[in-house]
Amino acid sequence: MRRSFALVFTALTLTAGSLLAQQDPHMARALRVLSSTPLIDGHNDLPWAIRGSEVAPHDVEAAEHDLRASTPFHTDIERLRAGMVGAQFWSVYIPFGSTQEGAAKVQLEQIDIALQLIAKYPDVFELALDASDVQRIFASGRIASMMGMEGGHAIENSLGALRAFFAMGVRYMTLTHNGTLDWADAANGEQVHGGLTAFGEEVVREMNRMGMLVDLSHTAPSTMNDALDVATAPVIWSHASARGVRDHPRNVPDQVLRRLPANGGVVMVTFVPSFVSESDEATIADVADHVDHIASIAGVDHVGIGSDFDGISSTPVGLEDVSTFPALFAELSRRGWSEGDLAKLAGENLLRVMMEAETVARRLQRERAPSMATIEELDGGVSQDGSPGGS
């Protein structure tokens, strides 16, 4: 940690950011925190942005995608450094419609893109598989890189596929994306099951047994509550905000936030403009309002940052790309956040979640073997329209 502080602080003294810090004590506080605590961003969609690039789709090696240069994305190395990102969950998102072309195939391709991206810049990124990796990589002055799957449709109702993705390095899975699954209701999907089915509950149990974080972004409140009922490890929301501030189906209700202290989970506040503000133009203050609200309801131990950069077409004013994270921490400092609480928000809360999930996984692996359950066995089969049905 001390080496990272020295490396980053030396670099910052040569930037405009350090000059601003000399004039603004709140920015200075933000930079101190992010120099000694890894800022863990829960969700960045750069792998999908590269896949969908108009100039060189899928091609990590294309000159247009060189992260050492200025890119058309929200993300490149210079801006990651300016934003003091210490660890990044790279989303290996695939669309819900991928089930029609082979979801597992597309998921493998996205994991491949993310792994290529990480391997291309070994002086900047290193794959992290657990909390100790994050701390070690951050201390080396590099960005700890993790992968998060966005949407349980990718496992195609197979616990074996789920385990295979974990073995490839995936460390969280969002249970649903924007469509209800055979085993879980989505926030923006038809409410079919009243939350999780029996197979959906088994997915959560198996994720806990492996040590894969259960991500409840995109899920319906009924699914959130069912997952909290079943989970024996802390859950996360990799990119969501507070419904008590902005009544949007993708946000987390206060009723669920009140359950977080018992579970230990963390809501990583997203920057998606329509999620954080009813106005046509969201601002950094709007995002800070969500951070404040979650901290006031669930507690400061249960909030983090999940930007969704490169997964959104517009951004809040003041949070235009990955270089702007310190501005959010300075804004919260102006609102009275202490350095200790800012450190929790930056990464300490998520590191705790990871460590607790790893501890639970070690215990569960001693107690039981991998689950061989099937959706047909637990839910009585699946009908052609995707809803549970009798055999």
Q: Which residues are catalytic?
A: 43, 45, 150, 177, 218, 239, 308
Residue 311 CB neighbours (<10 A): 20
Q: Which of 42, 52, 322 is nearest to 173 (CA)?
A: 42
CA 31 to the chain's CA centroid: 22
Q: Which of 55, 128, 56 is nearest to 87 (CA)?
A: 128
CA angle 203, 183, 365 (to 5 degrees): 5
Helix, strand or coil, per DSSP, at residue 304: strand
Helix, strand or coil, per DSSP, at residue 334: helix
CA–CA distance, 67 with 208 (Å, rounded to integer): 35
- Angle between helix 198-210 and helix 221-230 axes, rounded to 10 deg: 50
SS (H, E, C) 56-118: CCCCCCCHHHCCCCCCCCCCCHHHHHHCCEEEEEEECCCCHHHHHCCHHHHHHHHHHHHHHHH
Query: Over the range 284-306, which residues count as b (16 or more CB within 10 Å of their CB) and which as e?
Result: bebbbbbbbbbbebbebbbbbbb
Q: Are 217 and 176 in contact (CB under 8 A)?
A: no
- The half-sphere exposure of 338 on its side-chain side, counting CA atoms within 13 A, is 4
Q: Are 144 and 351 in contact (CB under 8 A)?
A: no
Give CA separation, 61 vs 64, 116, 212, 339, in Å: 8, 9, 30, 40
Q: Which of 208, 329, 222 is nearest to 265 (CA)?
A: 208
Q: Are 149 and 170 in contact (CB under 8 A)?
A: yes
